[in-house]
Structure 1
Amino acid sequence: MTETAHGILPAQAIGAMFTRGEISAPRHPDADQIQPASLDLRLGPLAYRVRASFLPGVGAKVMDKLDKLKLHAFDLTRGAVLETGCVYIVPLMEGLSLSAAVSATTNPKSSTGRLDVFTRVITDEGRAFDTVPAGYRGPLYAEISPRTFPVLVREGSRLSQIRFRTGDPFVQDADLRAIHAEHMLVAGGDTTIGGGVHLTIDLEGKGPGSLIGYRGKRHTGVIDMDAKAAQEPLDFWEPIVHRGDSTLILDPNEFYILVSREAVHVPPLFAAEMVPFDPLVGEFRVHYAGFFDPGFGHSTLGGGSRAVLEVRSHEVPFIVEHGQTVGRLVYEHMLERPEALYGEGIGSNYQGQALKLSKHFRASA
């Protein structure tokens, strides 16, 4: 790695960070914890319920704030239920000792976002969520607040992921157009590039009567965050079908799973992230979990992967229409090609996806 290198660190570089002690943990990484361009973060053995979300700010440590804001602490070694509407802080297993050239950002894992579990990572002296400054040395903490479903977590559960970078690997629009011309970054919509590749919403599906989304139910059972294909979808979700009118009214404080019109492609030498389109265009939020790894939707790996949209309206009902722009996919250069791409025998759950619930649900819906 040179001082002038700009790029997202791939899996092999993340593994080397463990070896050098730049990432530390009380036990070895899980076999599938290191992803092509990110690292899953594991919950530690103790959780705190707190009165309110917070940022420590300059000169302050998270534990100092917890002493003032915690309601109670509880053990996660045997598992515990996190209730909806509550805020929890959990120290993570992984700590960092970054070089001055390496910074990081964090994001909920896809499966976390698709359950409407609001999750952010905090650092000591942090002034922004999900942001780790270059050269940071210290612990990491997860703020967790289930919004729709109560969830069961335990020590080692992985709700968040971290992406490391050197320099500024952001791909500018002019270069993005050239990359799209060569690699077809999105297909199936009206390709618009401006501050990233625009993504639009699909509310037509396969025509009248077809499934176009899901709305989360209230007062459901508990979802085990570590159990795959364990839940019946209809116990937790109301299917939404196309009724001939390609619009959908988002009810305030309800949670929806929808899908993009476009199939997304992330070539092997790039990573991507979904970011807000423009907060002024509508009273709704999309994309709780925004990381897309190299190889997502890659044609040689069973491509055609659409972006699943986690959608929540704000204070008022809001109508969204088929083809409406709901987010931007920004691309960044990889520092080097990952040893394994997304979907390449590494347990990737969403390669080749269309409209799909999280891995916790059986595929019968």
Structure 2
Amino acid sequence: MATSSEMTAPDEARGALSALPAGPAGVLPRQDIRRLVACGMVRAEGGSFAESQFQPASLDLRLGRKAHRVRASFLPGAGKSVAQMLTDLTQDEIALDEGAILEKNCVYVVELMETLHGLPATISAFANPKSSTGRLDVFTRLIADHSAAFDSVAGGYSGKLYAEISPSSFSIKVRTGSRLNQLRFRRSAAGDEAEAEGVRLSDRELRDVHAATPLVDGAAQIRNGLMFSIHLGADEGEIIGYQAQRFTDVVDVDRVAGYAIDDFWIPVRARRQRLILDPHQFYILASRERLHIPPGFAAEMAPIDPSMGEFRVHYAGFFDPGFGAGPDGLPGSRGVLEVRSHEVPFLLEDGQIVGRLAFERMAAEPDALYGAIGTSSYQGQALKLSKHFRG
């Protein structure tokens, strides 16, 4: 298979280079990410990219050849590189070429195969775990040199990228080329330093979008984004979620449909339309609403206001254009939620607001939507575990 960098001639690459810094503000679609690759702003070890890395609004990132087990999570901050920090914090180095196990409750840092080279000042990048990573309760964040924030790469950046990886419920097996997180690129208005200025939709704009193309299967609750609630109101005894078992085998992140659910998860059954979360336990639950992300927009799961409860409902937050499109054009996919309560037991009741989606404009509609590419594992989903489990 030809790689993306092989598909573009040098003259076309130079044209892409001159065209990319300009254009509408918004999240770059995959055809523009290909142009970043073609003109050398995004490169990979060995020079090649797999076709399946290009998602409608993001690029899958691949683990490199070596994992560093570190004694603490860190950010390098201004003036320091990740490599300099690793010199002080590395406890062990683990080769990934033949595969290796990353133990739960440990922290690892892995240099990624992808690097950035001379992004325009108007194009920044931001990362999130892939959906399958979040559903395995693997805490993954991007780190860039000189950065004071996780999962964020400033416009104009040149340098390496790293993944911090901390499995929480299950130990995992990874190898060089495994994909745990993904990168989106955002073009801001020329000269505008506010990262999402002109890109993030206001509540008024979001209401207009919902009126034209429904975002949920019912009335939209919009308050600083699209609010969504928890689904616990099934018939008594019906499975409405899963709780991770504490002592299990290892999960190979590249093995699809390779594991029995009962070996890793405890079914959570409907009872009185409520659920008490055990502190520090991990749950997979679903939203009450069915969702749809229209082609001209991308969404990200945003943190819930802590005043609404000391719990977290997401570890992987990107929703691609086209997600949830039903055969009739109406919202057809529930949001699957990775839930953990902090410190104390917490009561959830059916229909309780637990999170929100922040919407951003695409700079252009992608040339292929979620559900129309071979890597769309969760289109049309209801309650669904990660793709690693059968059933």
Matched with 1:251 is: 278
Q: Given that residues 85 and 147 in structure 1 are in contact (C-alpha distance below 8 angstroms), is that contact kept between their aligned partners in structure 2?
A: yes
CA distance in 2, matches of 1:32, 1:51: 34
User: Residues 264-288 of structure 1: CA distance to partner in whole angstroms, max 9, x if unpaired?
Assistant: 1000111111101211211111110
What residue number does 1:69 align with?
89
Secondary structure of 1:271's counterpart equals: strand
Matched, 1:295 2:322: yes
Shift of 1:40: 0.5
Residue 315 of structure 1: CA displacement? 0.7
Residue 290 (structure 2) pairs with residue 271 (structure 1): no
> Are positions 1:79 and 2:78 aligned together?
no
Q: What letter matches 2:233 in structure 1? A: E
Matches within 5 A, 1:77-226: 77-97=97-117, 98-167=119-188, 168=197, 169-188=199-218, 190-205=219-234, 207-226=235-254
Q: What is the CA–CA distance in structure 2 between the aligned matches of 1:187 and 1:95, rounded to whole Å?
A: 40
The letter for the 2-side match of 1:320 is L
- After superposition, the C-alpha distances for 1:152-196 in whole angstroms (9 at most, x for unaligned) are 0000000000100111311111110000011001115x5210111
Q: Is the 8 A contact 1:301 1:344 kept in 2?
A: no
Q: How many residues align?
A: 360
CA distance in 2, matches of 1:110, 1:69: 29
2:40 aligns with one of 21, 31, 40: 21
Structure 2 portions without partners, runs of 5+: 1-19, 189-196
**Partner amino acid, structure 2, of 1:183:** T
Aligned partner letter, 2:154: P
- Counterpart amino acid of 1:180? H
Please tell me the residue identity of whatever aligns with 1:178: D
- Report SS of the residue matched to 1:187: coil
Shift of 1:2: 6.4
**Residue identity in the other structure for 1:201:** I
1:41 matched residue in structure 2: 61
When the two chains are superposed, the root-mean-square deviation of aligned CA atoms in Å is 1.2
Does structure 2 conserve the Cα–Cα contact (< 8 Å) formed by 1:277 and 1:325?
no
Contact 1:295–1:301 under 8 Å retained in 2: no
Q: What letter matches 1:38 in structure 2?
A: S
- Please name the residue that 2:76 is paired with: 56
CA distance in 2, matches of 1:51, 1:335: 41
Give me the TM-score of the superposition, normalised by structure 2.
Answer: 0.90
**Residues 78 and 147 in structure 2, CA contact (< 8 A), matched pair in contact too:** yes
Aligned counterpart for 1:6 among listed residues 25, 28, 39: 25
Could you report, residue by residue, the CA deviation over 1:199-236 in whole angstroms, capped at 9, with x for unpaired residues? 1000113x112110000001100000001000000100
Q: Distance in 2 between matches of 1:345 and 1:112?
A: 19
Instruction: Give 2:52's match in structure 1, choosing from 32, 49, 56.
Output: 32
Gaps of 5+ in 1: none
Deviation at 1:342, TM superposition (A): 0.2
CA distance in 2, matches of 1:255, 1:191: 28
C-alpha separation in 1, matches of 2:373 and 2:54: 13
Q: Distance in 2 between matches of 1:193 and 1:277?
A: 13
Counterpart-to-counterpart distance in 2, 1:157 and 1:221 = 19
CA distance in 2, matches of 1:236, 1:201: 23
For the residue of structure 2 that corresponds to 1:90, the secondary structure is strand
CA deviations on 1:60-100 (whole Å, 9 max, x unpaired) are 00010000000011100000000011000000000012111
Moved more, 337-346 or 34-43: 337-346
Structure 1 residues 278-309: Cα deviation after superposition (integer angstroms, max 9, x where no partner): 11211111110000000001234885111000
Over residues 315-348 of structure 1, what are the superposed CA-to-partner deviations in whole Å (9 max), with x where a residue is unaligned?
1111111111111111111111111000003320
Aligned counterparts of 2:281 and 2:328: Cα–Cα separation in 1: 35
**Distance in 2 (alpha carbons) for counterparts of 1:226 and 1:43:** 12
Change in Cα spacing, 1:318 to 1:343, as seen in structure 2 (3 Å) is same
Give the C-alpha shift of residue 7 in structure 1. Answer: 0.8
* Whole-angstrom CA distance in 1 between matches of 2:24 and 2:97: 41
CA distance in 1, matches of 2:21, 2:137: 40
Q: Distance in 2 between matches of 1:150 and 1:240?
A: 22
The 1-side partners of 2:26 and 2:253 are apart by 31
Q: Contact (CA 8 Å) 2:232, 2:350: kept in 1 or not?
A: yes
Amino acid at match of 1:182: A
Paired letter, 1:272:
A
- The answer (yes or no) to whether the contact 1:276–1:326 under 8 Å persists in 2 is no
- Structure 2 match to 1:333: 361
Task: Name the CA distance, whole Å, in 2 between partners of 1:4 and 1:229.
Answer: 42
Conserved in 1, the CA contact under 8 Å of 2:304 and 2:312?
no
**CA 66–2 in structure 1, closer or farther in 2 if over 3 Å, else same:** closer
Amino acid at match of 1:231: Y
